[in-house]
Amino acid sequence: MFTSEQGFTIYLSLLVITILMILVIGTSVLINNELKSVNHYQKNIQALYLAEAGIERSIDIINSQLKKGRLNLKHLPTVIRVEDEKINLSNIYDSKGNLKINSISKIGEVTKKITITVRITGSRNINSLKSLVTQHPRKNIIVGGESKIKSNGKKNNNLDELVTMATTIPRFNFDKYKAKAKQSNNIYNSNLLFNNRDIKGEIFYIKSDINVDLKNTTFSARAKEQPAILVVDGDLRITNANLHSSLENIYFIIKGEFLVNGSANKLVMNNCLVYAQEGIKLGGPTGKVNNITFNGLLLTPDDFIFYGNNPSISPRLPNYNRLYLAQEKVAIISWQED
């Protein structure tokens, strides 16, 4: 039989053991939770760093493209890897023309997303364009992409001799042109401007794609010394040019493509400059451009395509005082982490 003193000792021992077990289990739970918290924190930090790396890589690629004179979202990667971890990227322009870049990384169950909004700012000196043109004084087709020239189904070597492949082509400042045109009340929503056959040597801004029927039409500015600047916020397509069609003393600054439809059988462009940010296409596989005469400068950061016969293309130096070159540096205007 246990004495009351022995029973109390056993009871006290069991109580102490129970308390110790509770303390051990509680401490283990706390340590385990702390380890999970530390692990989650480490993954969170790692995912954040990876998302930031994706943003930095995107900006580096954009700056690299801008130095080459061409920014094409199609050429930006959608997936990159840093330290064997995958980062998903997406890029889109917002309604204000700013570029939104999303970088999403995932480490285990932790996902981090960084969204930044950037604006392309700054400007390049006009001397960069002068240098590009004067390096090849006898060549007046300057191309940043591919050059595809065919005549009668064969490569046209004579036209090839006029092409300069350039890794650095300046971009033009469309915002500045628009502001200048607005000052003179020269902003149009369509091709109504072409109802006037003779225009002043001013800056005109067209806010959309336009299709110009040049049949039996001469469209020109009045003075060679002060050509008109026609800025198009989209594509410019010329159709139905014939023996009596001509464009004279006009600089075309085009945000999209410059296209001459295959139905053009004769087109004279005298003292002209064509800058088309998304490419120049004179004819195509389904329709050739015949007997085109061009005097001036053709300039595109993208592709130059010619399908046709009997081209006569000769160089002419532009009036540099009429040209405003593009914005080309990335400035971050907002940063958001999710």
Sequence spans of domains, the chain: 4-122+329-337, 127-322
According to the model, what pLDDT value does residue 314 have? 87
List 203's β-bridge partners, or say none.
Answer: 229
Burial of 146 (0-12, 13-18, 19+ CB in 10 A): exposed
Q: Six-digit token pair at 322?
A: 């009429």
> Which residue from 158, 167, 162, 202 is spatially nearest to 183, judged by alpha carbons?
202
Residue 262's closest CA among 300, 288, 240?
288
Low-confidence ranges of the chain (pLDDT < 70): 1-8, 66-74, 93-97, 120-125, 127, 152-157, 167-168, 191-197, 262-264, 285-286, 326-329
How high does pLDDT run on average in the chain? 81
CATH class of the 4-122+329-337 domain in this structure? alpha beta
Residue 154 has a pLDDT of: 56
**How many Å apart are CA 3 and CA 251, to the nearest integer?**
114
**CA–CA dist 81, 275 (Å, integer):** 36
Q: Where are the alpha helices (DSSP H) in the chain?
A: 4-67, 127-134, 157-160, 174-183
DSSP state of 170: P
